[in-house]
Structure 1
Amino acid sequence: MLSNLLVQLVNGLADASALFLVAAGLSLIFGVTRIVNFAHGSFYMVGVYVAYTLTSRFGATMGGFWLSVLGAALAVAILGALVEFVVLRRIYQAPELFHLLATFALVLIFRDATLWLWGPEDLFGPRAPHLAGAVNLLGHAAPTYDLLLIVIGPVVLLLLWYALTRTRWGTLVRAATQDREMLGALGINQAWLFTGVFFAGAFLAGLGGALQGPRMSANLSLDLDTIGNAFVVVVVGGMGSIPGAFVAALLIAEIKALCIGIGHVSIGGIDLSLSRFTLVAEFVVMAIVLVVRPWGLLGRASAAVRAMAAPEAPLRPAGRRLRWLAAFVALVLVLAPLAANAFPYMPVLLVEILIAVLFAASLHFIMGPGGMHSFGHAAYFGLGAYGAALFLKVLALPMEVALLLGPLLAAGGAIVFGWFCVRLSGVYLAMLTLAFAQIVWSVVFQWDDVTGGSNGLLGLWPSNWLSSPVAYYYLTLACVALGVWLLRRMLFSPLGYAMRASRDSVLRAEAIGIDVKRVQWAAFVIASLFCGLAGSLYAFSKGTISPEVISVSRSVDGLVMVLLGGLQTLTGPVVGAAVFTWLQDTVARQTDYWQALLGLAILLLVIAFPQGIVGFVRERFGNDDVEPKNGAAHPSSEAGATASAAAAMKEGL
């Protein structure tokens, strides 16, 4: 038992080295550019594939193998520099969350490009020459290549330390991490510094991937799996801290190794499988660290201080033009099923769009007016879906009752998770929401007796009077229209004014007596309740649900919808969700490489309309969602925050 555990710990050290390389590159890029780079996992994946190609051809000798590994890392580094130069440099002035949208589009493009170049099958690269054997360790075989990887991690850490502390480039990187504006004022060319940082960060990710060639297959799921783990390491170690990333990688890898090595434990007669805990171990660690020490193990406490969001222009009820447009859209939606005979698929597609609209509107409720960024909103979508399914299947309640009660499970989860989340802000809040979402996913994925595990739950069909696609479409339309209207109305209630005051200035809001955390907690629960309603509608529209409804990709889809439409406008999430879902469905039916085309469409929209589709229209043709500029606070001024606080005080808060 003890010897097996020791071998697992050695394997954990090898995993930690690979994880550190990817996380170090991500931390370097974020520290300087402040970009949450979702494409960093794609750099890792491309590194694995390029290394497979090069080592398969030139890796028969020791020199050829290691030159192929370095060549793969260099190719990925050049790709990273091109991404920064061609794409990201054009949108540095856009809101930071739009960088997330652009890099997510790159993930879709890189995945389909990899599919086109290497195909869908898993590819296994050759072993490293002269390192294919194993060393006897307490009666167990420890791969020689793993022992080498254990050495590579600390060596790279030392090289990074030297580069950052003993070279001019490192001095500039550290200065940019502290104060980019001051660095620009000193005459430093920030554009080329950013390109260099992207080159170095992508090189580390590519090297991490290339080194994994002899240990794992090259496959298309590596991108999102890797970026999730890398984000965890960066946050646990401390944003921008390279030593922190090293310590966090060791901690997380060894905890997972311990779980595998121990296997099962018995507590009070209950047999627990620790090996299953490996699916979510890193996210549990991240949640604990964020709750206890939000700035990470080796991060700076100042990095986690709640910052005042950029004040925005006050909202006002919809103007005449917007009300007429809403009435026209509602009329079109009511009459749309009349064309079902000519287009049988239309009611099904419209149901998907409507569910996406409610999902996006609930996320926008906390992101826009609430100022709380969430990377795990799909957790409440999934809880609503599973809640409705369990009320139907386990308690044998009527479908209509299950549909209404399902969202209560989402609200219950939000009450628990939200209490912790509202104590953080910015990227720390976003990562904590991601951690909780992954914990929920893990429970759903492994609780076979209740949730069906990976197979999900089947037979979730609507009642007989809703069995036709048109009938269910009208039910969905009514629920979504009511949900969106209620969310909008709440923004002009005392709670809505308090939310915007808290977003614009925590200090001003607290000075007039607003309990900021309680207001944000209430907003979090309300948004999750409506998100759960979207999940309930989804479950009965598909007839089946699986853990996919709680996946990271669904949370990212929600972010894309909100940002695509425009974060600073109430109509944005509705338009963004409709456009994104329609694009996804239309492009998917045209080609096998629909993800790349969808990514290109998103990328073009981000570059052309960095303020979102509705934000662009608002600038060109006027804005019905904010007060006119005559006498109103400008969005970029501190008066916007004062206006929000004054409005909240006027409402008696």
Structure 2
Amino acid sequence: MELYVVQFLTGLANAASLFLVASGLSLIFGVTRIVNFAHGAFYMMGAYIAYSLTIRWQTPLGFWAALVVASMAVAIIGVVIEIVLLRRIYHAPELLQLLATFGITLIAEDAVRLLWGPEDLVGPRAPGLSGAVSILGNAMPVYDFVLIFLGPLVFGLIWLMLHRTRWGLLVRAATQDREMVNALGVNQKWLFTGVFALGVFLAAFGGGLQIPRDAVTHFMDLSVITEVFVVVVIGGLGSIGGAFLAAIIVSQLNAFGILIMPGISLVLMFAVMAIVLVLRPWGLLGKQIVRSRNAAPPEGGAWKPLSTTGRISSAIAVLMAILLPFVLGDYGIGVAAEVMIAIIFAMSLQFLMSVGGLDSFGHAANLGLGAYGAALCVQYFNMPMELALFVGPLIAAAFAIVAGWFCVRLSNIYFAMLTLAYAQILWSIVFQWVDLTGGDNGIVGVWPSAWASSPQAYYWLTVACAASVVGALRYLTFSPFGYSLRALRDSPMRSATIGIHKRHVQHAAFVISAFFAGLAGVLFAFQKGSIFPDAIGISTSVDGLIMVLLGGFNTISGSVVGAVVYKVASIWLMSNTDFPRLILGVVIVLLVVVFPQGIVGTSRQLFERWQIRRRQSKPFVGTAVKNGGAA
């Protein structure tokens, strides 16, 4: 019993810093509707700056002053980012905003490595709070009791600010109806800036609070952002009270999960997140999100079957891909094979998102299921590669039949978050089921058959698979099934009136997308000769989103271009620069600003505008003049 009490108190202490970060993210999303993936980066920057200040200000007052000053410094950085970048894309699709904030995360990761070095930093203990007290015979750090007190205190201050000030009234009103607030003459830009600054301050303060408890690392942003998303979803997007309650729930699950059920401790919080999304998508204390009245309808101009020129161009592209091994060395061929696998993965996600209108944050689950399914079949049943190429995707599709039944009942951000929960549950199982999957040691020795063992032969296999997948998905896009999907995406109510069953059609699309993503996973496993849990991680899902959005959200060929550009750029930067994430992040942010419709989408838009200006510049020739007669 004594140990349970200590675990409970430890969970409450962990909930304090988790609540601070989650409340900031919830505020930002509630008002601006931005899924701020960079929130973990602000948490990390707060920890690093606070570390530098606390080692200089070695007094009790200096420690807390260092946390406040560090948080204010990060808040100023956040304000600059909001004014310079995010204001430009507030009316852009939510996924484009996610891409921009992910670019900020990449920049921040390498920036802290550049300024503080790659080593983990161990901060000083909080002056005057470094001792421990005995709780039922077990030692409990004094600092943990400070955190337990600090969590409710900050919650109370935020509640007072939101309910007893005019600014808080405007924030709550903007959470419910941004257009009405704007119609009342409120300057939305500065309201958004203020909310963003407060959210960033809370995240940075939460990072600073962790210095006496954990090492400061440049990986802490990604480690915290997943838990924060879970807290925000369980509590309710935009609900501060919900974030407080969910932070306690998640922290207690982590504390007691390790103690009581260590084998599935990582699964628990994602399972709770999935259950909440299925039963109450808007969270325990949240409210349903009101979509913007000014949301632009999906653009349909780019959806055209291939013309004769397009077919010829596609054939030339495939021929050039086939001939690549004759001009590249083994390393270049290996990179080209990775690009082909990335094309398959991106196309499978593009079909789900662009055609089906279903934004998935957990598409890596399907890639990982295909890869692990094939690897386990090879390891335990000595299955040949040829058979595994079919079995792996079928395993991914089989899991998608079950998961998709729940997922397609939701839409918009709720669907995206449930797919994230699905992927994280699978990642947790793979990571902790060591006897079957090898845990973080992975599965090794997954090699292709003899005929495909050379780099050239395996590359040609990936080219054949990529060309087949692109052709199949393009055919499906312009089939009656594809038109039904796009009808549901553009106008669900009208589609229902003509007899299109929303759940059935979208469920089928979910399974088809999973099948092709599973194929990408099988090819990935055989190329690498192994598979590890990070293939199912959130970073892999984000990679897929980046490839789709970089190429162009509303184009068929955009995913191909996006996959080639992103994969080649990331591999080249990783091999030739010391700070690849910094450069890649800058490139992503610039592409978001310069190519808001993606590389292909924006290029096509500019080309169409050029054609219109060219036609308008031609002199008008009247009919009478053309016929040589008098007017």
User: Structure 2 length normalisation: TM-score?
Assistant: 0.94
Distance 2:296 2:434 in 1: 43
Q: What is the aligned partner in structure 2 of residue 29 from structure 1? A: 28
Per-residue deviation at 1:622?
A: 4.0
Q: Give the superposition deviation at 1:443.
A: 1.1
Deviation at 1:392, TM superposition (A): 1.3
Matching residue within 266, 288, 312 for 1:324: 312
How much does 1:259 deviate? Answer: 1.9
Matched, 1:282 2:269: yes
Q: Could you say which residue in structure 2 is the equivalent of 1:634?
A: none
Change (3 A) 1:522 1:304: farther
Matches within 5 A, 1:303-382: 310-313=297-300, 315-340=303-328, 343-382=329-368
2:278 alignment partner AA? V
In 1: Cα distance, 2:257 partner to 2:341 partner: 39
- State which of 286, 291, 299 in structure 2 corresponds to 1:299: 286
The residue matched to 2:381 in structure 1 has which SS? coil
User: 1: distance between equivalents of 2:380 and 2:128?
Assistant: 58
Q: 1 CA distance for matches of 2:264 and 2:119?
A: 28
Q: 2:244 aligns with which of 246, 254, 262?
A: 246
CA distance in 2 between partners of 1:278 and 1:344 (Å): 43
Deviations 1:195-215 (A, max 9, x none): 111110000001101111101
Quick one: which of 93, 98, 103 aligns to 1:95?
A: 93
User: Which portions of structure 1, spanning 4 or more consecutive aligned residues, are displaced by more than 6 angstroms?
Assistant: none
| Cα distance in 1 for residues equivalent to 2:475 and 2:569 | 29
> Match of 1:475?
461
* Range with greater deviation from structure 2 (505-514 or 28-37): 505-514
Which residue of 1 is the match for residue 626 of structure 2?
A: none
Q: Within 2, Cα distance between the matches of 1:179 and 1:325? A: 47
1:153 aligns with 2:141: no
Aligned residue in 2 for 1:184: 182
Query: Are 1:113 and 2:101 counterparts?
Result: no
Q: Distance in 1 between matches of 2:173 and 2:290?
A: 15
SS at match of 1:498: helix
Partners of 2:83 and 2:195 in 1: how far apart? Answer: 12
CA deviations over 1:545-592 (Å, ceiling 9, x no partner): 111111110000000000001111111111101100011011112212
CA distance in 1, matches of 2:67, 2:95: 34
Letter paired with 1:143: P
2:425 maps to a residue whose letter is: I
Q: Secondary structure at the match of 1:569?
A: coil
Which residue is equivalent to 1:553? 539
Given that 1:304 and 1:424 are in contact with CA atoms closer than 8 Å, whether structure 2 keeps it comes out as no
Residue 552 of structure 2 corresponds to which residue in structure 1? 566
Q: Secondary structure at the match of 1:128?
A: coil
| More off after superposition, 130-139 vs 100-109 | 130-139
Is 1:432 the counterpart of 2:418? The answer is yes
- Give the drift of 1:299: 1.1
Alignment of 1:79-94 (within 5 A): 79-94=77-92
In structure 2, the partner of 1:140 is 138
Q: Distance in 1 between matches of 2:213 and 2:579?
A: 29
SS in 1 for 2:17: helix
The residue number in structure 2 matching 1:637 is: none
- Aligned counterpart, 1:441: 427
SS at match of 1:618: helix
Query: Cα 1:350–1:302, aligned 2, differ >3 Å: closer, same or farther?
Result: closer
1:182-241 Cα shifts (integer Å, max 9, x gaps) = 222222221111111111000000110111110111011111111111111111111100
SS at match of 1:142: strand
Which of 204, 208, 213 aligns to 2:206? It is 208
One-letter amino acid matched to 1:238: G
DSSP 3-state at the match of 2:140? strand
Number of corresponding residues? 607
Cα shift at 1:302: 5.9
Q: What is the CA–CA distance in structure 2 between the aligned matches of 1:376 and 1:27, rounded to whole Å?
A: 20
2:472 corresponds, among 486, 499, 519, to 486
Q: Which residue of 2 aligns with 1:394?
A: 380
1:68 corresponds to 2:87: no
The answer to whether the Cα contact below 8 Å between 2:264 and 2:429 also exists between their aligned partners in 1 is: no
Paired residue secondary structure (1:213)? coil
**Structure 2 CA distance for aligned equivalents of residues 308 and 524 of structure 1:** 25
Contact 2:24 2:202 (C-alpha < 8 Å) held by counterparts:
yes
> What is the deviation of 1:76?
1.3
3-state DSSP of counterpart to 1:592: coil
Question: What do the CA deviations read for 1:389-444 (whole angstroms, capped 9, x no partner)?
Answer: 11211111111111221111110111111111001111111111011101111111
Distance (whole Å) between structure 2 residues aligned to residue 320 and residue 176 of structure 1: 50
Confirm or deny: 8 A CA contact 1:294 1:304 kept in the other structure. no
Indicate the residue corresponding to 1:529 in structure 2. Answer: 515
* Contact kept in structure 2, 1:308 and 1:505, CA below 8 Å: no
Question: Aligned to 1:345, what secondary structure does the other structure show?
Answer: helix
Which is worse superposed, 321-330 or 377-386? 321-330
State whether structure 2 residue 448 is matched by structure 1 residue 462. yes
> What's the CA shift for 1:493?
1.5
SS at 2:133 equivalent: strand
Partner of 2:616: none
Question: 2:42, 2:264 → 1: CA distance?
Answer: 28
- Equivalent residue, structure 1, for 2:191: 193
- Please state how far the C-alpha of 1:310 moved relative to its aligned partner: 2.5
The CA distance in 2 between the partners of 1:449 and 1:278, in whole Å, is: 16
What pairs up with 1:397-416 in 2 under 5 angstroms?
A: 397-416=383-402
One-letter identity of the residue aligned with 2:138: H
Q: In structure 2, how many angstroms separate the alpha carbons of the residues matched to 1:308 and 1:563?
A: 18
With 531-540 and 319-328 compared, the bigger mean Cα shift is at 319-328
* Contact 2:133-2:141 within 8 A present in 1 as well: yes
Q: Does 1:11 align with 2:4?
A: no
RMSD: 1.6
Q: In structure 2, the residue corresponding to 1:121 is in which secondary structure? A: coil
Unaligned runs of 5+ in 2: 610-631
Deviation at 1:175, TM superposition (A): 1.7
Could you list the runs of 5+ residues in structure 1 that have no partner in the other structure?
Answer: 264-273, 624-653
Would you say 1:589 and 2:588 are equivalent positions? no
Judging changes above 3 Å, is the alpha-carbon distance between structure 1 residues 366 and 287 closer, same or farther for their aligned structure 2 residues? same
CA distance in 2, matches of 1:234, 1:190: 24
1:304 to partner: Cα distance: 9.8
Q: 1:321 Cα shift?
A: 2.6
Equivalent position of 2:618 in the other structure = none
Distance, in Å, in 2 between the alignment partners of 1:279 and 1:304 is: 33
Read off the aligned partner of 2:404 and give its amino acid letter: G
Task: Give the CA deviation at 1:301.
Answer: 4.2
- Equivalence for 2:621: none
For 2:78, the aligned partner's letter is G
* 2:11 partner SS: helix
Q: How does 1:53-64 map to 2 (within 5 A)?
A: 53-58=52-57, 60-64=58-62
Matches within 5 A, 1:575-586: 575-586=561-572
Which residue in the other structure is 1:270 paired with?
A: none
User: What is the alpha-carbon distance in structure 2 between the residues aligned to residue 308 and residue 55 of structure 1?
Assistant: 46
Change (3 A) 1:298 1:67: same
Write the distance in 2 (CA, Å) between the matches of 1:324 and 1:136: 77
Q: Distance in 2 between matches of 1:91 and 1:293?
A: 30
Percent identical pairs in the alignment equals 56
**C-alpha separation in 2, matches of 1:280 and 1:48:** 27
Is the partner of 1:136 in helix, strand or coil?
Answer: strand
Matches within 5 A, 1:43-58: 43-58=42-57
Give how far 1:283 is off. Answer: 1.1
